[in-house]
Amino acid sequence: MRLATCLAALLSAFGFWACSNNDSVAGTATQTENTVASLDTLKGVVYHKNGTKAKGAVVRMVLSSKWEDAGWSDFREAETDAQGRFSFANVPADTFQLAVIDSASSEILYLPEASAEDDSLVLKTAAKVKGFLTLGDSALAPVSVGSHFKVYVSGIPFFESVFAPGAFELLVPEGSWTFGFCPGDPMVIEKLQESGIADSVIFRSWKMSKALKSGESLALDTLVWGANKKAGSAEKDDPKEDVDQKDTTAKMDTTEAPAVPKAWISGQVDCSNLDRCDSVEVMVITDLFGFGFANGLTLEYEIQARTDTLGRWWLPAPEEVPYDSFRVEYRQRSGETVTNVGLSRYVKKSELEGAKDTLSIGKASLDKYSWISVGVRLVVDQQDNQQSENCFMNSVVLGIEGTSHFVRTVTCNMYVLTYLPSGMQKLIFYSGDPVVVSALQEAGTPQYSYVSTVDQNLMAGNGIKELWLTYTPPTVK
C-alpha cells in the first residue's frame, strides 16, 4: 500500500510529532520503533551556491529506507537561523536522507545517504515541477475530502501543499522521479480506505519519462482528483495505472489554461505593473450593498482562491446572486502587509445563467490601495437642513459598493475605510438598524429611497482626509 508515502509527507503539516527527551533538538520529531544512535548530534551550516549563508531554509531528516517501506518514519525538521545554522540531536542510526529546501532562492540539496559528518551543506539550483490541481466529480465520495491536497515525490522528503483548485510549484532534485498527489488530511485518507476506496484512486501517481536537470522546469497538464474510479489524472487515464505526464522544459506561461468543470468562473490579474502575479487573493462579492453585514453577518475578506504564476484563478460559480450582478475583489500581500488591491467589472447575472461552460470575467488591474476618512451628520428634516446633535441615537452602515469594506458607525463620528480599490467607486450608506432595513425590504420600498450613494474618485496610494455626508433616517410606516 502507498499510504505511507502520503502519510509521511503529511507529518510536517498536521503536527503528528512527539517531543524529544533531549531539549537541544532543533525542530520537531516523531517517535517510532526505529533504532536511534545514542546522543549522536548533527550540526551544520547551509550555504547558498553563491557562498552566502541561507537563512530560513528547511532541513528535513528521515531514514534512508523509502517512505512507502518505512511506515511512520522517524522524521525531523529544522529551520536554519540567521547564520544558516541548524542542529539535530539523536540522529538516526547508520545513514539517513537529508533534504534542504530554500523556496525563496529556488535552491535545494538532497543527500540520499547522509551522515553526522555532513555539516557543511551547499545548495544547488532546483528543478521545478509546476501544475494546477483541481477536483473532479466527487459525487461518490463517502467523506468530504476538503480542498487541501499534497503533491509529493515518492520516496524522498520533497512535497508541497496545494488548495484545490490551485496552482503549485514543487522544488525537486535533478533526476527522474515518481510523483503523486493525494488528499492532505491523513484522517480523510483513512476514512476513504475504510469506505472501500482503492489506494490507486486515493494516491494518484505518474513517473517521468526523462530526467530533469538542475534549473529545468516540468510543466504538467491539469491534475484532477476525484473519489470515483472514473476521475482520472491530468491525462484522464485509468487511475489504477501510473500516468506518464507531459515532459517539457517550457515555463508555465507556455501552458494552456487548465480545463475546469462546468458552473465555474475564472479570471486573471493584469501583471503588467506588478513584480509578481501569483498568490493574489481572490474573493467573490455577491452582497453588493452589504445588507448581510447590516443584519449581523460577517463581511470580512475571505480568501476563496489564489492566482497562479500567470495571475489566473478558478472558482465554482456563486450558487446565489441576489442582485443583478456580482464582482470579484483582489488583494495582494507582501508578508502580512496588504500592498495592492483591485476589483473586477460588474458581472451580470444573465452572463452566468447563459454560460455553457466556464465563464471568464476577464482581466483586472491591481494598484496601491486607497483610503477615505468619512463621517455622517444627521439631518432630521431635509427642508430646513438643520443638523442634529443627537448623534448616538442613530447608526449607519458605510461601505464601498461591491466590496468587502463595510462598517457600522454612529452619526457625527468620523471613520476611516482603508485598503480600498482606486478609481471611481460608489460610497453607500443607509440605516444601521437591521430591523429598519428588513422592514423596508419586506415592504418592497424602492432601494434608492433608503440607500444613499455618493461617487468618489479614489487615488491609488492616496486617500481622502475628510468627507462629511448628511443622512436623514428613513420613515417606516
Stretch 252-279: mean pLDDT:
65
- pLDDT bin (cut points 50, 70, 90) of residue 201 is confident
Which residue do the cell numbers 415592504 mark?
443
Which cell goes with 183? 488528499
List CB contacts of 137: < 8 A, sequence separation 6 or more: 226, 228, 230, 231, 261
pLDDT for 215 beyond 60: yes
Do the bridges between strand 41-47 and strand 120-122 make them parallel or antiparallel, or are there none, so unpaired? parallel
Residue 349 has φ and ψ, to the nearest 5°, of -60, -35
pLDDT for 407 beyond 80: yes
Which cell goes with 413? 463620528
Give the model's pLDDT for residue 433.
82
Indicate the SS3 state at residue 392: helix
User: What is d(CA 232, CA 246) in angstroms, rounded to the nearest whole number?
Assistant: 15
Give the model's pLDDT for residue 400.
93
- pLDDT bin (cut points 50, 70, 90) of residue 246 is very low
Give CA 21 to chain center in angstroms: 36
pLDDT for 36 beyond 90: no
Neighbouring C-alpha atoms within 13 Å toward the C-beta of 371: 13
Which cell goes with 99? 533534504
Inter-residue contact 312 to 266 (CB < 8 Å): yes
pLDDT for 351 beyond 70: yes
Residue 440 has φ and ψ, to the nearest 5°, of -65, -40
Which cell goes with 109? 540539496
Indicate the SS3 state at residue 202: helix
| 63-67, 199-203, 426-430: range with lowest mean pLDDT | 63-67
Stretch 109-120: mean pLDDT:
82
Stretch 344-356: mean pLDDT:
85
CA dihedral defined by 347, 352, 356, 360, rounded to 10 degrees?
30
Residue 198 has φ and ψ, to the nearest 5°, of -65, 150
- pLDDT bin (cut points 50, 70, 90) of residue 259 is very low
User: What is d(CA 464, CA 269) in angstroms, rounded to the nearest whole number?
Assistant: 26
Inter-residue contact 407 to 417 (CB < 8 Å): yes
- pLDDT bin (cut points 50, 70, 90) of residue 227 is low
Inter-residue contact 343 to 364 (CB < 8 Å): yes
Inter-residue contact 154 to 1 (CB < 8 Å): no
Residue 183 preceded by cis peptide, ω within 30: no
Pick left, alpha or beta for residue 39 (phi over 0 → left; psi -120 to 50 → alpha; otherwise beta): left
pLDDT for 363 beyond 70: yes
- pLDDT bin (cut points 50, 70, 90) of residue 476 is low
Q: What average pLDDT is seen over the chain? A: 75
C-alpha to C-alpha distances, 445 to 167, 428, 433, nearest whole angstrom: 46, 17, 16
Which cell goes with 173? 532534485
Stretch 369-380: mean pLDDT:
84
How many Cβ atoms from other residues are within 10 Å of residue 83's Cβ?
Answer: 11
pLDDT for 249 beyond 60: no
CA dihedral defined by 130, 135, 140, 143, rounded to 10 degrees?
90
Stretch 34-50: mean pLDDT:
69
- pLDDT bin (cut points 50, 70, 90) of residue 271 is confident
Inter-residue contact 311 to 450 (CB < 8 Å): no
Give the model's pLDDT for residue 387.
52
